[in-house]
Amino acid sequence: MHDAMKKYCFLIICLFAATFVEAQHTYKYGPVGNNKSLFISNLMKKMTVEEKVGQLNLVLSGGDPDGNAKEQAGVIRDSKGGAVFNVAGAALARKYQKIAVEGTRLGIPLLFGFDCIHGMKTEFPIPLGEAASWDLKTIEKSTRIAACEASALGVNWVYSPMLDICRDARWGRIAEGAGEDPYLGAQVAKARVIGFQGKSLKDNNTVAVCIKHYIAYGAAEAGRDYNTTDMSERTLREIYLPPFKAAVEAGAETVMSSFNAYNGVASAANPFLLRKILKGELGLKGFVVSDYDAVRELIDHGLAKDSVEAARIAIEGGLDMDMVSNIFRDKLLPLVKRKVVSEKLIDDAVRRILSVKYDLGLFNDPYLYCDENREKTELMSPDKLQAARESAQRSIVLLKNSQQILPLSKSNKTIAVIGEVANSKSDMNGCWCCYSSGNNPVSILDGIKAAAPNSQILYEKGCKVDATAPEDYSAALDIANKSDVIIMTMGEYAWMSGEAQSRSDIGIPGNQLDLFKKLEALGKPIIVLLTNGRPLAIPYLAEHATAIVETWFLGTEAGNAIADVLFGDYNPSGKLPVSFPYSVGQLPLYYNQLPTGRPHSENLSDPFRSMYKDVSNDALYPFGFGLSYTTFQYSNLRVTNPKMKANDKLEVKVDVKNTGNRVGEEVVQLYIRDLYASVSQPMKSLKKFEKLSILPGQTKTVTFYLSREDLKFYKESVGWITEPGKFYIFVGGNSRDLLKTEFDLL
Ligand code: NOJ
């Protein structure tokens, strides 16, 4: 071919390729451009009201649109779905996306929603456990990894993080959140939103979050799941709202309303919660989806007489998308046509949904998250497993270590490992692991064996976790007799916490305590490894076990991380994100209690006090508590200028010395108390913390800054205010053992 001709052909090919690439990128809309609002307005002008209502429907699927999910495929083809729930797999997501993009008039891409609570394939510690790390970098990293894996599987929208504050361990869903404290909860919330949503949502390894469950779900009365919540607006705003506020400020794209009713009105149709606070005050730009079937449940709540009324009160209340009840899909359109429901409400909801799709980059490339190659290479890669191990190590809390029994030596010992969960892989994943099948977690037994190859490790189940009929312990007693030390797992199966797992008794289930007592009679040291998704009431163990290690459910690398702590390769640094009670009768229990007119007194001759006759007011293990293999000494707490003017920054310093002989990490916690105000203030409120590593013998000075924002409280019908007066500052390694100083707010 002539040279000029060759050049000509090359040019044609380039032009053709460029047009093709451009066509892919500009998709059906021409160039999408940077003006989101203009783009969405133009798109909405083309939409029929039927197509708009279709966007408000979350379709339940999971199956193959060419096979068992033909019906769902039809719904999408009819433009009656804006998002699909439970599809995970790049190829499967691509199939669905193709139907929406090529099979509908406007080709609006779908969202793919999935529950990704503490990892996708690589599981990290359950969220309550990971909150015990008080390590925001670690939490952000694990969430980033979850986003990478989820997005590699076609998921672009995760029903996570769960931000419910909980003060009542009877509620099984306490496992899914960050515990009892609004400040810690808010910091964790922010870290998780940043982790999931990354630097730009348009990157193919980021996903939109759906923060849940908005709101006060963790306060379900009597700890019974789905139960009603009745609380003051002050408590709502001061205790339950902060994690949601922090998450929205960090850019959270979407919110899931909770199942429960707040002061008599279910969250899915509550204009005060959704319209006034969430969309108004917090300024949520994205949309609110109901929880599963919750629009239909408005009938059961006694708020709507039928599904038509349920649709109306939900959309009026501020809900934008209906999760799987199909009530928006089937009932909204006639309501709009009859002008019972204003089309403006529909428009607002659609605009919010399209805004999230735009932010995710789906209008540029609807197949951004459907990359089969990423799915093949990204899941459970070695770096992710290493991160899971590190997160798990940092989440472990050492509750007791008498006679310095821990860490154990790796050699020359016979160790009896006893307990059903010790030999369970699947339990290590914890509750809410929806895509973990086949991820082969490291069991506690395997972790111990791998860490101590020169020790003789004997294993017996001993008893089942939850059996109450008499069991034969002889094999367990036999190996215990042959051993120098006993390691016993005690607590719950993974499934015993999570949704619909409320318990009225939070003691150690089944025969486990009975077996413990038989083992105790042998007189050998017993190290208890707690496996649990909630605080358990363990007064007997607290007194009689030689050591207690809180291991929650730590995910794929659980066994290795636990062994790292048992044998001293990692010095434990976790602190409880929730109070552990002596007894279920103390619940709800939380450290940041309000004072009473009859405070608890040690003087037993004065019975008219706010206290129990049979148990302490305090926690068995307080919020923020956790030991290390080294010790820390706090001293010299000082406030640089103890007269604070309204806009000052108060500088607080404290010296923390590592007084042991190992490197250790400590979580230095700062609490305040506002002594007198027009509304009683909590006896302590966490305001700052810092986790830092200190060498043996080294002293580090930690500096905190408090601003007026940190001192505000909510006064009903007034708002967020401070009042001048005296404040205490407490600093220490847990919420009970603290140094104290004070300052005046002028
Ligand atoms: C119900 C749960 O309350 C919620 O957390 C979850 O995201 C949805 N089901 C979807 O699985």
Q: What is the DSSP string of 340-376?
A: SS-HHHHHHHHHHHHHHHHHTTTTT-TTTT--HHHHH
Residue 27 has pLDDT above 60, yes or no: no
Task: Taking residues 39-45, report their average pLDDT.
Answer: 95
Q: For residue 61, how far is the Cα from the chain centroid?
A: 25
- CA atoms of 388 and 189, how far apart (whole Å): 19
Task: Show the CA angle centred on residue 92, arms to residues 253 and 286, nearest 5°.
Answer: 10
Ligand 1 center to residue 499 CA distance, Å?
A: 8
Residues with CB under 6 A from ligand 1: 115, 159, 212, 291-292, 499
Ligand 1, closest atom to CA 434?
11
Helix (H) or strand (E) holding 234: helix 233-235
Ligand 1 center to residue 379 CA distance, Å?
A: 24
In this structure, the chain runs to a length of 746
Q: Which of 162, 163, 211, 212 to mutate to test the pocket of ligand 1 (most atoms within 8 A of CB)?
A: 212
Ligand 1, closest atom to CA 212?
5
Inter-CA distances, 587 with 54, 341, 496, 626, Å: 44, 44, 19, 21
Ligand 1 center to residue 597 CA distance, Å?
A: 41
Residue 11 has pLDDT above 80, yes or no: no
What dihedral angle (degrees, nearest 10) is formed by the CA atoms of 19, 25, 31, 34? -150
- CA atoms of 237 and 239, how far apart (whole Å): 6
Helix (H) or strand (E) holding 59: strand 57-60
- The per-residue pLDDT for 18 is 39
Q: 449 with 489: CB under 8 angstroms?
A: no
Give the residue, by CA position, lying nearest to ligand 1 atom 11. 115
Ligand 1 center to residue 174 CA distance, Å?
A: 14
User: What does the pLDDT look like over 303-340, one tens digit per residue?
Assistant: 999 999 999 999 999 999 999 999 999 999 999 999 99
Q: Which of 259, 499, 502 to mutate to test the pocket of ligand 1 (most atoms within 8 A of CB)?
A: 499
- The per-residue pLDDT for 504 is 98
- The per-residue pLDDT for 30 is 62
**Residue ranges of E strands in 659-710:** 664-674, 685-694, 699-706
Ligand 1 center to residue 292 CA distance, Å?
A: 6
- The per-residue pLDDT for 62 is 84
Task: Taking residues 692-701, report their average pLDDT.
Answer: 98
Task: Taking residues 95-116, report their average pLDDT.
Answer: 97
Q: Which of 212, 291, 297, 324 to mutate to test the pocket of ligand 1 (most atoms within 8 A of CB)?
A: 291
- At residue 28, what is the residue type? K
- The per-residue pLDDT for 23 is 38
Helix (H) or strand (E) holding 633: strand 632-639
Q: 166 with 180: CB under 8 angstroms?
A: yes
Q: 330 with 306: CB under 8 angstroms?
A: no
- CA atoms of 443 and 452, how far apart (whole Å): 14
- The per-residue pLDDT for 15 is 42
Residues 6+ apart with CB under 8 A from 190: 136, 246, 247, 249, 250
pLDDT above 70: percentage of residues in the chain: 96
Ligand 1, closest atom to CA 258?
3
Ligand 1, closest atom to CA 213?
5
What dihedral angle (degrees, nearest 10) is formed by the CA atoms of 223, 228, 234, 237? 80
Q: What is the pTM of this model?
A: 0.95
Give the residue, by CA position, lying nearest to ligand 1 atom 4. 291
Give the residue, by CA position, lying nearest to ligand 1 atom 1. 292
Side-chain half-sphere CA neighbours of 173 within 13 A: 23
User: What does the pLDDT look like over 632-677, one tens digit per residue?
Assistant: 999 999 999 999 998 899 999 999 999 999 999 999 999 999 999 9
Ligand 1 center to residue 652 CA distance, Å?
A: 42
Burial class from Cβ neighbours inside 10 Å (0-12, 13-18, 19+) for residue 402 reads exposed
Q: Which of 160, 256, 321 to mutate to test the pocket of ligand 1 (most atoms within 8 A of CB)?
A: 256
User: What does the pLDDT look like over 711-720, one tens digit per residue?
Assistant: 999 999 999 9
Q: 244 with 189: CB under 8 angstroms?
A: yes
Residue 719 pairs in a beta bridge with 715
Ligand 1 center to residue 346 CA distance, Å?
A: 24
Ligand 1 center to residue 159 CA distance, Å?
A: 7
Ligand 1, closest atom to CA 159?
7
Residue 264 has pLDDT above 90, yes or no: yes
Structure tokens at 69: 């999910």
- The per-residue pLDDT for 607 is 86
Residue 389 has pLDDT above 60, yes or no: yes
Give the range among 23-27, 271-275, 696-700 with minimum mean pLDDT.
23-27
- CA atoms of 209 and 195, how far apart (whole Å): 10
Give the residue, by CA position, lying nearest to ligand 1 atom 10. 292
User: What does the pLDDT look like over 150-198, one tens digit per residue?
Assistant: 999 999 999 999 999 999 999 999 999 999 999 999 999 999 999 999 9
Ligand 1 center to residue 258 CA distance, Å?
A: 9
**Residue ranges of E strands in 228-330:** 254-257, 261-262, 265-266, 288-289, 322-323
Average pLDDT along the chain? 95
Task: Taking residues 130-145, report their average pLDDT.
Answer: 98
- At residue 270, what is the residue type? N
Give the residue, by CA position, lying nearest to ligand 1 atom 9. 292
- The per-residue pLDDT for 7 is 52
Residue 501 has pLDDT above 60, yes or no: yes
User: What does the pLDDT look like over 398-448, one tens digit per residue?
Assistant: 999 999 999 999 887 899 999 999 999 999 999 999 999 999 999 999 999
Active site residues per annotation? 291
